[in-house]
Each structure stands twice: as structure tokens, then as C-alpha cells.
Amino acid sequence: MWRIGELSAATGLTTRTLHHYHDIGLLAPSARTTAGYRLYSEEDIARLHRIVALRQLGLSLDEVRDCLDRPEYSLEHVLALRTERLRQEIAGKQELLERLERLSAHIRANEATADELILTIEAMNMFEKYYTPEQMEYLRKRREEVGDERIQEVQAEWPKLISEVKAEKDKGTPPSDPRMQELARRWKGLVEEFTGGDPGVAQSLNRMYQDEAGARQSAGFDPELMAYVGEAMKHGA
């Protein structure tokens, strides 16, 4: 029989840890001395070795207890859960790494200020909220295909087009009017410059502008203007 101090010295675990294992029902001593000190048997020590081994695999204390005490929680089952969780953690770290790399590239290309950097991070977070990883990769490749020069031209075209559409809306021009039809075609063309004609990307883009007031504001859109252009596009179709 081993006293708690002896067990602590032999295993490298603190007495506080062993007390905690006892308190949560993970490792209870088989006996006590007449003075009330804990005594651990060979079976207790064998159980402790299993606890330490499972903890080194990354299992939580609850998972260790389930694995040791509940027949329905086999070691294979618990390890499968842990493996899946680890895959998710790795995927999350990989996503963070890619985000930092994209951000670093943006800083190098634009020499961004602190405020611009924060806005960029917010924009990236918003994009990742509405676009799947596959769509984000598609957009990255799309940007490479189009080139920065054409992207800057499109970005400069948007404010002009929005201003023209607002002017027609303020004048009460019907969506079916040829003038609005031409503006709607230009609008659709600029959107397709971004989406490459991918309907899934276009749907994600529309959902982002519908849900995010900040995105609409930064782009110069408003719900009524978007509805007006939408009606014009329906007439064009």
C-alpha cells in the first residue's frame, strides 16, 4: 500500500492532483490508515497508470473516466472522438495561418495603416462568414486571373454606376425604361466580374449585402436601390 506522498514522488504527480482525482471520483484510494491517511493499492496504481496514459493522448478527465468506467465508452470510441476534435483544431489553425498570410500580403501590397488593417480584418471575417472555404479559394484564383489593374478599374466604376442609378431612381425612371435597362446590364456585368458567373458565389454575395448593413454602407448600396436594380434586371430577363 502506498501513501499519497509516496505515490506523488513515484509518479511525478502532485498531491493536489491526486486529491483532485479523488474528489471527482476518478481515482479513490482503496484504504486509509487509522489516522485517516489515504492508502493506494496495486490496483489503484495500475488505474493511475491508465489515467496518465490516456491524459497523454489528450483526453479530458471526463473522457478518461468514461473510458475506464463505462462499458459503452470503449477506448476506440473515445479516441475516435478525440481524433475528430484534433482534426477540427488543425483545420482551425490552418485557416488562421492562411488568414494571416493573406493579411501579410495585403499589408505588403498596400502599406496599410492600423485603421486600414482593422477594416481589412473585419472584411475578411465577414467574407468568411458568408463564403465557403471552396468559394474563398475560387475568389482568390479569380483575383489572380483578373489581375489587380482590372480590379482597380472595376472598383472605380462602381461609384459612378451607383450614382447614375440613384439619379434615375430619384427621377422616377421606370425599371423597364431603356436607360435603366442599360444601367442594369452594366451592374450585372460588374457583379459577374467578381463572381466569374458562379451562381453559388453570387448567392453568397447577395446574402451578405442583404444581411450586413456595414457591407452595404461601404459599397454605397441601400436596400431600395438594390430592389430598384433587381426590378430592372427582371424586366431585362
Give me the pLDDT at residue 55, please.
Answer: 85
Neighbours of 184 (CB within 10 A): 22
Query: Distance between CA 163 and CA 4 in Å, rounded?
Result: 79
Instruction: Kindly give the parts of the chain with pLDDT less than 70.
Output: 73, 92, 106, 110-122, 214-215, 218-220, 237
Domain boundaries, the chain: 2-69, 74-111, 145-236
pTM of the model: 0.47
Query: Distance between CA 220 and CA 233 in Å, rounded?
Result: 19
Q: Which CATH architecture has domain 2-69?
A: Orthogonal Bundle (1.10)
CA distances from 169 to 32, 112, 177, 183, 228 (A): 87, 36, 11, 11, 7
Report yes or no: 100 and 92 within 8 Å, Cβ to Cβ: no
Give me the pLDDT at residue 114, please.
Answer: 64
Report yes or no: 38 and 4 within 8 Å, Cβ to Cβ: yes
Give me the pLDDT at residue 165, please.
Answer: 92
